């Protein structure tokens, strides 16, 4: 295997950028829908395979702008996997959207090209060994997703894209100021030029940086990248962007893009943690996380649009993850990593299901969707399983991570555990309440569906993985996550 990798003209890590980059250009030239969808799947699949090779083979960090360590390889593998399965879902979903005339065939080249451009920018953001490059990648990811959210060109879609654009731009502007401050803190120690922005040198010298500058920088980075994570009170773009864009993009937003911003936040948290005099970043993250959790849990009760409902659920879960990493320590970090993985898989699976539900029922209004398990048994029951998983019912993987998080919080900070549990229970109640209405009872009328039913494979794979993780976590994976949890401190 590894000798085979050496025969390639480029390193596997470069392939993470080269494959989507070339595919984006190629797809921009393919107007036929079927061919484009296949190339899109193929490119995403190849990217995922190359990401897998990073588990066994690491490039030398000193020779490249890119680097791989135990932390970001988790994000890369998860991200490219969700990107691959979403491209399979997207093939059948977008085909149907074209049939019913919601999407103009002329936008196909644009859509597929942007899909790969997004994959490119996310891989770049996750593997960049330079905080400036990472920022550029996050900006690129924002731009591509803004364009995708506005894809349907309806009034609502354009408004959602606009709101996302303005809030996202302010967020990344603040993140850039934070990045500049980190450079200013590093310059007296490391010296001028590129080295003072290279991640591996930054973390090695962080203990000698000026703590005051680091503190101020972290506030800006947290507000900036926190906007992209969707933490309350900076979340306003997220529900609109999820609800108005095409469903594969909602899946990618929740499953991938939020994680990329979270990754950036974690990197800077590690930088602060490496400096003993700087303020502890944990409490800030814990506060933002709890606020997001409780706020989103209440908002779940008021939603009338099914995609918006699950967008708020994403805010809730990103809050939980931020809380876990803010608590820190081996157990909470482990719970945070596991929760992030499970949330990505489950939430994208739910969006796969919700996209089909909206297609067969012809609406996104929760009140108009009833009795799914009766009218569409496979789809309805998958949605039930997915929502049960995201609400935190055993034996699914999210139950495991939430249980770990709650028990470790009780052991260390019992007072913080109270709002945590209240938030979890509130969200649980809202989701189950909404689910019973949508899944059971007398079926509401369906759209007469002439087209081929979309592929259920990605949905089932995701839910199966979440179920397996809930029943049994393989030993090597546990050891890996424990190692990363120690790295995060």
Partner 1 sequence: MERFSLDAAHLLAGGMVLVSFMMLYQNRILGLLNVFAAHAVVLSLSVAWQAYVQSAPHLFVTAAIALILKAIIIPVALHHMVLRLGVHRDIETVGGIGPTMLMGIGLVALSMVVMLPAAAEADPIAREDLALALSVILLGLLIMVTRQNAISQIVGFMSLENGLVLAATGARGMPLVVEISVAFSVLVAFIVIGVFLFRIRERFDTIDTQALDDFREGRE
Tell me whether residue 84 or residue 225 sits nearer to partner 1 (CB atom): 225
23 binds partner 1 (CB under 8 A): no
Closest by CA to 171, choosing from 215, 226, 237, 125, is 226
| Residues 166 to 185 in contact with partner 1, rule: CB under 8 A | 166, 169-170, 173-174, 176-177, 180-181, 183-184
From the CB of 151, what's the least distance to partner 1, in Å?
A: 13
**Cα gap 455→352, rounded to integer Å:** 10
Tell me whether residue 75 or residue 209 sits nearer to partner 1 (CB atom): 209
From the CB of 204, what's the least distance to partner 1, in Å?
A: 18
From the CB of 143, what's the least distance to partner 1, in Å?
A: 6
SS3 category, 365: strand
| Encoded tokens for 1 | 């295997």
| Encoded tokens for 387 | 């929502």
192 binds partner 1 (CB under 8 A): yes
Tell me whether residue 18 or residue 173 sits nearer to partner 1 (CB atom): 173
| In 110-189, beta strands by DSSP E | none
Computed from CA positions of residues 79, 81, 86, 87, in that sequence, does the dihedral angle turn out positive or negative? positive
**Can you tell me which of 110, 162, 298, 381 binds partner 1, judged by CB under 8 A?**
162
Number of residues binding to partner 1, judged by CB under 8 A: 42
**Cα gap 139→133, rounded to integer Å:** 10
Tell me whether residue 80 or residue 210 sits nearer to partner 1 (CB atom): 210
From the CB of 189, what's the least distance to partner 1, in Å?
A: 10
Query: Which among 51-59, 186-194, 253-261, 353-361 is the span making contact with partner 1, rule CB under 8 A?
Result: 186-194
Tell me whether residue 34 or residue 153 sits nearer to partner 1 (CB atom): 153
**Cα gap 266→268, rounded to integer Å:** 5
| Encoded tokens for 346 | 């489950």
Closest by CA to 306, choosing from 386, 253, 369, 348, is 369
| Encoded tokens for 220 | 């800006």
33 binds partner 1 (CB under 8 A): no
158 binds partner 1 (CB under 8 A): yes
**Cα gap 463→470, rounded to integer Å:** 11
**Can you tell me which of 10, 188, 418, 457 binds partner 1, judged by CB under 8 A?**
188
From the CB of 419, what's the least distance to partner 1, in Å?
A: 29
Centre a 10 Å sphere on the Cβ of residue 307 and count the other Cβ atoms it contains.
22
* Helices of type H across 9-107: 12-27, 33-53, 70-99
**Cα gap 120→240, rounded to integer Å:** 24
| Structural contact between residues 312 and 303, judged by C-beta atoms closer than 8 angstroms | yes
From the CB of 274, what's the least distance to partner 1, in Å?
A: 18
194 binds partner 1 (CB under 8 A): yes
| Residues 95 to 154 in contact with partner 1, rule: CB under 8 A | 104-106, 130, 132-133, 135-136, 139-140, 143, 146, 153
Closest by CA to 342, choosing from 394, 412, 285, 287, is 394
**Can you tell me which of 91, 161, 234, 265 binds partner 1, judged by CB under 8 A?**
161
**Cα gap 59→72, rounded to integer Å:** 13
**Can you tell me which of 2, 3, 155, 442 binds partner 1, judged by CB under 8 A?**
155
Residues forming contacts to partner 1 in the complex (CB under 8 A) are 104-106, 130, 132-133, 135-136, 139-140, 143, 146, 153, 155, 158-159, 161-162, 165-166, 169-170, 173-174, 176-177, 180-181, 183-184, 187-188, 192-194, 196-197, 210, 212-213, 215-216
């Amino acid at each position: 295997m590894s000798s085979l990798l050496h025969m390639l003209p480029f390193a596997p890590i470069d392939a993470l950028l080269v494959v989507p980059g070339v595919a984006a250009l190629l797809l921009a030239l393919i107007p036929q829908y079927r061919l484009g969808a296949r190339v899109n799947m193929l490119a995403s699949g190849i990217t995922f395979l190359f990401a897998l090779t990073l588990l066994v083979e690491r490039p030398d960090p000193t020779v490249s702008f890119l680097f791989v360590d135990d932390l970001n390889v988790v994000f890369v593998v998860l991200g490219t996997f969700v990107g691959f399965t979403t491209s399979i879902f997207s093939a059948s979903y977008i085909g149907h959207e074209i049939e019913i005339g919601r999407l103009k065939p002329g936008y196909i080249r644009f859509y597929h090209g942007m899909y790969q451009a997004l994959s490119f920018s996310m891989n770049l953001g996750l593997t960049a060994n330079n905080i400036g490059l990472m920022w550029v990648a996050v900006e690129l990811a924002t731009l591509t997703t803004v364009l995708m959210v506005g894809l349907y060109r309806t009034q609502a879609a354009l408004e959602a894209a606009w709101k996302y654009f303005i809030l996202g731009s302010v967020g990344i502007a603040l993140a850039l100021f934070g990045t500049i401050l980190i450079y200013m803190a590093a310059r007296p120690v490391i010296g001028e030029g590129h080295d003072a922005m290279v991640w591996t040198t930054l973390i090695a010298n962080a203990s000698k940086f000026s703590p005051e500058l680091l503190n101020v920088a972290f506030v800006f980075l947290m507000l900036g990248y926190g906007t992209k994570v969707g933490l309350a009170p900076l979340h306003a773009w997220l529900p609109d962007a999820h609800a108005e864009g095409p469903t594969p993009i909602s899946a990618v937003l929740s499953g991938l893009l939020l994680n990329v911003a979270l990754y950036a936040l974690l990197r800077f948290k590690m930088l602060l943690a490496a400096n003993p005099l700087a303020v502890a970043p944990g409490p800030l993250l814990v506060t933002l996380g709890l606020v997001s959790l409780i706020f989103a849990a209440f908002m779940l009760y008021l939603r009338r649009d099914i995609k918006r409902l699950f967008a708020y659920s994403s805010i809730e879960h990103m809050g939980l993850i931020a809380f876990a990493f803010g608590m820190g320590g081996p157990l909470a970090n482990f719970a945070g990593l596991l929760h992030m993985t499970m949330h990505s898989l489950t939430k994208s699976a739910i969006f796969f299901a919700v996209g089909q539900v909206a297609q067969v029922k012809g609406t996104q209004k929760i009140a108009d969707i009833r009795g799914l398990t009766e009218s569409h048994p496979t789809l309805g029951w998958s949605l039930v399983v997915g929502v049960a998983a995201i609400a935190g019912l055993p034996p699914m993987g999210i139950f495991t991570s939430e249980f770990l998080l709650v028990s470790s919080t009780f052991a260390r900070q019992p007072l913080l555990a109270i709002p945590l549990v209240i938030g979890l229970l509130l969200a649980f109640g809202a989701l189950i309440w909404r689910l019973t209405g949508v899944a059971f009872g007398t079926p509401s009328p369906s759209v007469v569906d002439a087209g081929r039913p979309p592929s259920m494979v990605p949905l089932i794979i995701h839910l199966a993985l979440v179920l397996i993780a809930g029943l049994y976590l393989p030993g090597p994976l546990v050891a890996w996550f424990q190692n990363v949890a120690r790295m995060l401190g």
